[in-house]
A and B are shown apart, each in its own frame.
Chain A
């Protein structure tokens, strides 16, 4: 037993040192290999690694859209495209390891979904100049992935999911002509929420609203924070705040009891019972990302590509929720797409 273990230990050390030496000496060749593969031309399969930071319906939609976007532009999985997909489950250690594996495997492009994934992927891929295309980042400039002009100058670009906040506020005014105060629940640890609130503070007075915000530290704080907020506001507007969104069920339940409408920031939230949303279509955002990735794979210079946002937002409205709260749908919104609250039966049917 002892001897075996000694051998194991020794071989581990050997392996490690071998890896080191070989890794260092091999690296000089790697550049050449890359060039070769590029020269071989178009019938070679392209490998794309998708690194998603966390489990979240919107992020899943991004991924779906991304794959569709690639396909629309000639990169079809199974035909000329191999896809790798990994979810880091919100663990930055995993994020780094996955990014490293993609880079080690010499993927042709990395698609990174959400901020930490993009940062880790860029960090791992920078020296090898593997292109990184990100999506679902609210503020790429703050994430240090682009300069003020939207260009990174490096091997990274992508799409941002900045919310159409002004349109959202305008829509709330249309649905609730009498309302005075908009309430917002946010988690103190999410930069996106904080910057969105800063923007909203500028916007709401123009529509005759005041803003009331309550911060939470964890999902467990949400119920008490909602009670606190509901006492002071005429409606609640939901951001893309992960902590708050994951507790959306309880927020809507408590708000419905008091007949206070809750507005969402994306379509998925309407399925949980939000009233309406000027929403980002994450599938469309993903598609746009896929398009950009295709351009890069076809030889466009990623270093000069600015990050993009989507300009067409879609009004979605939840009729069951409107009925429940006794709000009549204004005529201007008759064209809005209807997404109703998902009942248990709907969910089962979907599965």
Chain B
């Protein structure tokens, strides 16, 4: 369970551009939740992910993971129990290394990176098996450098790599936004499969309202640093894309766009 308590975050403190984004923000994410987060640009959804992951410091408030305060942990320390997939496929893989080497890197997460061989030969079959789930034929290209793969292939690998070791939370930061529609469907289906199988507590920020409606058990809509809609379970299942679009439009009108 992840709890955000009284989070305050102001950008550019002390300058003319000072902007308060979060004021006493609260959110509780239950064990096993798969939350889709939607909202307009500047609504604070990516900032929220950055705060959770620790890539952005908060002004005040607390983050509790299963009751433990993690607010003071650095980003790389939180990464031990969090996996994150970024919007840009480049962020999740090492382009100059081979597929096999990338898999081995991810496999070693949380362990010592010492002077033993980088690729454990005994694990290669396991990597092949994992890769074959992507149905992209990557299992036959183990020695190919990741940099020469397409964006979709790399994003699929990034997803696989970030969920390879045991996790508490999976953070998906618009991870299908940079892909073409077809690939984005494949990646989304794969995400769902992995999340179910590993029973990961997942927070997914997306611009795709249909994905938001279709996947997950909880739906958040954010606006100006606040959660303006929070639907769970039955309520969420009944939510239709059109309905979301209407709300979205109404906020935009309020803003005068």
- Asked if the two chains touch in their complex, CB atoms less than 8 Å apart, one says no
